[in-house]
Structure 1
Amino acid sequence: MDTFLQHLFSSQEEELYILDCLSYLMIFMALVTFLALLVENVPYGRYSDRKFGFPVSARVAWFIQELPALVVPLALVLWTSASKTVHLPNQLLLTMYFCHYIQRSLIYPFLIRGGKPTPFASFALAFVFCIYNGYLQVRYLSHYAEFPSDWVTHPCFISGTCLWLFGWIINIHSDHILRNLRAPGETGYKIPRGGMFLYISGANFLGEILEWAGFALAGHSIHSVAFAFFTCIILSSRAVAHHKWYLTKFEDYPKSRKALIPFVF
């Protein structure tokens, strides 16, 4: 794979410049997406619409679209020089990344119960994004990221790691609650209860936002910040849309529950 990358880039300086450009492009895409989401919900799940392409099974879509976020980074770590992986901060940040995507691509899809099909356009965009972001995050961490020797004891790294772990736990627990809303054979939507759902409608979304915010704080780079910003834009929009939908769908929906931030928003 080193040979392939050497054909793509004339030097390491050029590749690092491209990685920086991809980060700024991701921030720009997040802003454009924010404007688009003001008029149209992300077309998946309860908001699926055939105008965005033929439907793909939810389980198949999740597995295939998330897999590049694991396969591409694994190839970058295992089949390139990956010179920075000998350093502890890089190892720990890569561990955060892989923990999320091993669960998301190899475990989560097979736990899905039913689930509405995903329009092909949404599936394809998610697939491309996972390739894009997988390369961006892991190539930088495995080959270019340099941290001070005492970075793992720095307040930014410690607080970022704790925030990532807190978000990861919230995300997994919230998904567990959502999966178990219906008994076998049941259909239709129910009000999620328990965990962070006591306070907000988008508990699973908040968990993932916190994960990547912590990752960005610990990683301290434009590359991780761009990913955290993009995630926040997409998932906060979903949380708000879900909250409005729940309020419309259920007359007994808890009025004290917020969309994304407990007691605030």
Structure 2
Amino acid sequence: MDSFLAAMFSSEQQERYCLDCMGYFLMFTAACTFFTLLFENVPYGRHASSKYGFPVHVKLAWFVQELPALAVPLCLLRTSAAKTAQLPNALLIAMYCTHYVQRCLIYPFLIRGGKATPVGSCALAFVFCVYNGYMQIRYLSHYAEYPTGWVTHPCFITGSALWLVGWLVNLHSDHILRTLRKPGETGYQIPRGGVFEYVSGANFLGEITEWAGFALAGCSVHSTSFSIFTLVVLASRAVAHHRWYINKFEDYPKSRKALIPFVF
């Protein structure tokens, strides 16, 4: 990996500039995605469409598309001069890797049923995971400099707490969704329990909160752009799910919101 990166960049300054540009470009992409999703749903799961290519088995799709988000960072952490000995850097890397160990190596194999994923959607997710995995972990492992005592700063403490709460909400909500159907049952059910009592997109709210906390703890354009992109994509999906539930079930809870409890 060291030799590959040395061939790509003439200096550390050039790579750092590239990483910053990647962060700003992801923000631009988030803005473009926001307007696109006003007219079309993210094409996977119940909103999958054949126009995005042939279907891929849902478990295989999730594993393959999420794999770079874990594999790329692991390769980067083996390169020279990695700053993993610095506590803020190590903790932020641990937050990122904890999420993707679960998302790549555990979550796909717990899925029950589920619609196949269009190959186009899977390919886009794969590219994003390569892009974001490199941007986040290369910055944190080689370039991020935090002041002494950053782990006791209110931004880091608050961000870490938000990350943990969001991660736990996401895990619990995914568990609720997996156990909706009893053995032999098919079709969709109304999710109940946990944060689903308040919003239709409890799993999305958890992940949005998780990466918002990561961005606050990391205080960089790289983590912030990731958080914004996540918000745009998952908020759109939460709204689409909410509308779908209302149209599908006559007895859907009237007080339940799409994403933000009691508000939206």
Same fold? TM cut 0.5: yes
Residue 68 (structure 2) pairs with residue 65 (structure 1): no
* CA 1:130–1:82: 2 relative to 1, 3 Å: farther
Match of 2:75 in 1: 75
Deviation at 1:224, TM superposition (A): 0.2
Deviation at 1:149, TM superposition (A): 1.2
Deviation at 1:186, TM superposition (A): 1.1
Quote the Cα distance in structure 2 between the aligned partners of 1:90 and 1:24.
Answer: 21
Query: Secondary structure, in 3 states, of the residue corresponding to 2:84?
Result: helix
Deviation at 1:82, TM superposition (A): 4.0
Quote the Cα distance in structure 1 between the aligned partners of 2:191 and 2:18.
Answer: 43
Aligned-residue CA RMSD (Å): 0.5
Match of 1:147 in 2: 146
Query: Secondary structure, in 3 states, of the residue corresponding to 2:30?
Result: helix
Q: Is the 8 A contact 1:76 1:82 kept in 2?
A: no
Quote the Cα distance in structure 1 between the aligned partners of 2:72 and 2:224.
Answer: 20
Q: Is the 8 A contact 1:167 1:206 kept in 2?
A: yes
Taking structure 1 as the reference length, the TM-score comes to 0.99
Runs of 4+ in 1 over 3 A off after TM superposition: none
- CA deviations 1:106-161 (Å, max 9, x no partner) are 00000000110001110000000000000000000000000011000000000000
Query: Secondary structure, in 3 states, of the residue corresponding to 2:72?
Result: helix
Quote the Cα distance in structure 2 between the aligned partners of 1:37 and 1:99.
Answer: 29
Q: Is the 8 A contact 1:84 1:146 kept in 2?
A: no
**Structure 1 residues without counterparts, runs of 5 or longer:** none
> Between the two proteins, what is the percent identity of the paired residues?
69
Match of 2:187 in 1: 188
Deviation at 1:83, TM superposition (A): 2.8
Residue 260 (structure 2) pairs with residue 261 (structure 1): yes
Quote the Cα distance in structure 2 between the aligned partners of 1:156 and 1:45.
Answer: 35
Aligned length: 264
Match of 2:170 in 1: 171
Quote the Cα distance in structure 1 between the aligned partners of 2:80 and 2:262.
Answer: 48
Q: Is the 8 A contact 1:112 1:179 kept in 2?
A: yes
Amino acid at match of 2:93: L
- CA deviations 1:203-247 (Å, max 9, x no partner) are 000000000000000000000000000000000000000000000
Residue 23 (structure 2) pairs with residue 23 (structure 1): yes
Quote the Cα distance in structure 2 between the aligned partners of 1:63 and 1:127.
Answer: 10
Match of 2:10 in 1: 10
Match of 1:160 in 2: 159
Match of 2:109 in 1: 110
Quote the Cα distance in structure 2 between the aligned partners of 1:137 and 1:241.
Answer: 29
- CA deviations 1:134-192 (Å, max 9, x no partner) are 00000000000000110000000000000000000000000000000001221100000
Match of 1:214 in 2: 213
Quote the Cα distance in structure 1 between the aligned partners of 2:96 and 2:44.
Answer: 24
